[in-house]
Amino acid sequence: MAVEMQGVSKGFKGLVANNKVDFRLLKGSIHGLLGENGAGKTTLMNILFGLYQPDEGEIFVDGSKVTIDKPSKAMDLGIGMVHQHFMLVKPLSVTQNIMLGLPSKKGPFLDTANVETALLELARKYHLMINPKALIKNLSVGEQQRVEILSVLYRGAEILILDEPTAVLTPQETKELFNILKLMRDDGKAVVLISHKLEEIINICDEVTVLRDGCRVANEKISCETTKSHLTNMMVGREVLFDFKDRSSDFGPDRLVVENLTLVNEKKLSILNGINFSIRAGEILGLAGVDGNGQKELCEVLTGLKTVSSGKIALDGQELTGKKTKDFITEGIAHIPEDRHKTGLAMGLDISSNLIIKEFNGPRFSTKGLLDFKAIKDNAERLLKEYMIKASGIEAKAKDLSGGNQQKIILAREISSSPRVIIANQPTRGLDIGATMYVREKLIEQRDKGVSVLLISADLEEILQLSDRIAVIYDGQIKGILDNKNVSIEEIGLLMAGVESGAGQCKK
């Protein structure tokens, strides 16, 4: 047994995040930790990593009772954790990052050469393809994650905790990560994998523990017979429907029209390269593509966060090109951003403030320049209930919410703002299965009300399920726009790889 947590409880200001949880982690196994948003998964693992102290309960590592009062203690005990938001220093190299905070074997002198050799050896052993000399700022998200894993292994971890590692990875990167985790398991290490993607739990885990409302409700071995609906049932305590009603075809006129959009970055590289499309009122246009092909920048120009280098953006016939972000907001373009920490929320503010942050001086929440506190409070209480946001109350700060509940705050704010257009970038990332279905229904409901939705998602199933038409982006260009009637995943996959629609010719 690598770890045993017994009767662990943790409360935050009257909210019980963990309630007498038992958790047993075996050596040489990958252990899935499942539960709805706010169920207490991250809290339990933060306790094991020494970030929080439990209110009650005991922890045993390798059979001995331990007190883990800080992360450095956890690391001494061979426990490493990779958080969803990486803690790397961008301008420094891989090796420099890994050496940070570690004593040098050469006293006051840095031992870079030896560390680099050791890193290369570890990287070879676990197939973590990484150049130790590379600067973090030049690495993709998947590569940065590998650096975090390498760092934990370098510190001698026998127990590795990964909190939703695949939420930010492409399918290919996920496959590579899982191969690494399997090598670690075969090497006798213990891995905890937190994920909302049930196929992942079924495919790679040997065992699963399920939390609900802070309590452990199940612990089972994963077998060939384990199904998604069985896991969902244990998590939610009820069935969750995966099907949607038929798509309507009641479209209005063109609403959001973009013509020949181009964007050139500071390094004179062309990021968007002549983008053309239109979305009708009452239509969801899905945008499929491998991450990093211009999706993020397209969202930024469509919400006024960046100005295009050339081209035209028009909303209901009115040109918005060159206008400021606040004009895009007042014209009714809602934005669900990919990175909720950077652009979605004010982390230090409470829930009720975050819910009105974009229109606090609008008529809904102020009169004659004075804030209407009752309206603000009513709004927060209504949305908290409607979106099933789990928190100690509307005064809870955004930074204290679980990842999924932070995402729900953004969704609630943007969808409730009566938008004309919703630019939704990975709207269900980090959400549990029930919340995911709820958000998808909400997007359909908005579409049926005549809103135009641009849906960007790494999840092709989600795109196929919700979109009326599907555009595929590759290298800053739209490679094809398909009617979502009899599209196949294969067809989209080809376009995602840069193969032109119909022509069947590879450009590269």
Ligand X SMILES: Nc1ncnc2c1ncn2[C@@H]1O[C@H](COP(=O)(O)OP(=O)(O)OP(=O)(O)O)[C@@H](O)[C@H]1O
Q: Using the minimum distance from each CB to Mg ion, give the nearer residue, 23 or 474.
A: 23
- CA distances to 197, 208, 316, 429, 455 from 222, rounded to whole Å, are 15, 7, 52, 24, 34
The option from Mg ion, ligand X, none interacting with 35 (CB < 5 to 8 A, set by class) reads ligand X
In the numeric block, the tokens 């009300």 are attached to: 449
Tally Cβ neighbours within 10 Å of residue 444: 18
Q: Which does 39 bind (CB under 5 to 8 A by kind): Mg ion, ligand X, none?
A: ligand X
d(CA 205, CA 207): 6
Least distance (Å) between residue 403 CB and Mg ion? 5
Buried b (16+ CB within 10 A) or exposed e, 60-84: ebeeeebebeeeeebbebbbbbbbb
Let me know: does 10 contact 215? Beta carbons within 8 Å: no
Q: Which does 12 bind (CB under 5 to 8 A by kind): ligand X, Mg ion, none?
A: ligand X
Q: For residue 50, is it left (φ>0), alpha (ψ between -120 and 50) or beta?
A: left
Q: For strand 318-319 and strand 370-371, is the pairing parallel, antiparallel, or unpaired?
A: unpaired
Q: Which of ligand X, Mg ion, none does residue 294 bind to, with CB < 5 to 8 Å depending on kind?
A: none
Q: Which residues bind ligand X (CB under 6 A)?
A: 12, 15, 17, 35, 37-43, 390-391, 400-405
Spatial strand order of the sheet with 29-35 comes to 79-82, 159-163, 190-194, 29-35, 207-212, 215-221
The least distance separating Mg ion from the CB of residue 194, rounded to whole angstroms, comes to 6
Nearest to 38 by CA among 18, 23, 55, 54: 18
- Compare residues 431 and 456 and give the one whose CB is closer to Mg ion: 431
CB of 35 to Mg ion, least distance (A): 9
CB nearer Mg ion, residue 88 or residue 401: 401
Three-class secondary structure assignment of 65-132: EECCCCHHHHHHCCEEEECCCCCCCCCCEHHHHHHCCCCCCECCECCHHHHHHHHHHHHHHCCCCCCC
- 403 counts as binding Mg ion under rule CB under 5 A: yes
Total number of residues binding Mg ion (CB under 5 A)?
3
Q: Looking at the DSSP assignment, which residues form a beta bridge with residue 56?
A: 9
Question: For residues 39 and 128, which CB has a smaller minimum distance to ligand X in the complex?
Answer: 39
Cβ proximity to ligand X, 208 vs 298, nearer residue: 208
Which residue's structure tokens are 């007042």? 330
Where does this chain touch Mg ion (CB under 5 A) — which range of 8-16, 208-216, 237-245, 400-408?
400-408
By C-beta, is 81 or 421 nearer to Mg ion? 81
We find the least distance from the C-beta atom of residue 369 to Mg ion, in angstroms, to be 39
Cα(178)–Cα(181) distance, integer angstroms? 5
Task: State the nearest-atom distance from the C-beta of 385 to ligand X, in Å.
Answer: 15
Query: Of the ranges 21-29, 38-46, 71-79, 284-292, which one interacts with Mg ion (CB under 5 A)?
Result: 38-46
Shortest distance in whole angstroms from residue 93 CB to Mg ion: 30
User: Which listed range, 4-12, 36-44, 171-179, 449-457, lies at the site for Mg ion (CB under 5 A)?
Assistant: 36-44
Q: Is 407 in the site for Mg ion (CB under 5 A)?
A: no
Residue nearest to Mg ion (CB): 42
Q: How far is the CB of 67 from ligand X (least distance, A)?
A: 20
Does residue 459 come out as left (phi exceeding 0), alpha (psi in the -120 to 50 range) or beta? beta
Residue 405 beta carbon to ligand X: minimum distance, rounded to whole angstroms = 6
Nearest to 29 by CA among 214, 247, 182: 182
95 or 426: CB nearest ligand X: 426
Residue 42 binds Mg ion (CB under 5 A): yes
- Residue 88: CB atoms within 10 Å: 18
Under rule CB under 5 A, residue 80 binds Mg ion: no
Taking CB within 5 to 8 Å according to partner kind, which of Mg ion, ligand X, none is near residue 17?
ligand X
Shortest reach from residue 39's CB to ligand X, in Å = 4
Nearest approach, Cβ of 250 to ligand X (angstroms)?
Answer: 35
Looking at 146-154, 394-402, 413-421, 448-456, which segment touches Mg ion (CB under 5 A)?
A: 394-402
Toward ligand X, which CB reaches closer, 42 or 484?
42
**CB-CB contact of 212 with 36 (8 Å):** yes
Whole-number Å distance between alpha carbons of 489 and 473: 15
Which residues bind to Mg ion, rule: CB under 5 A? 42, 402-403
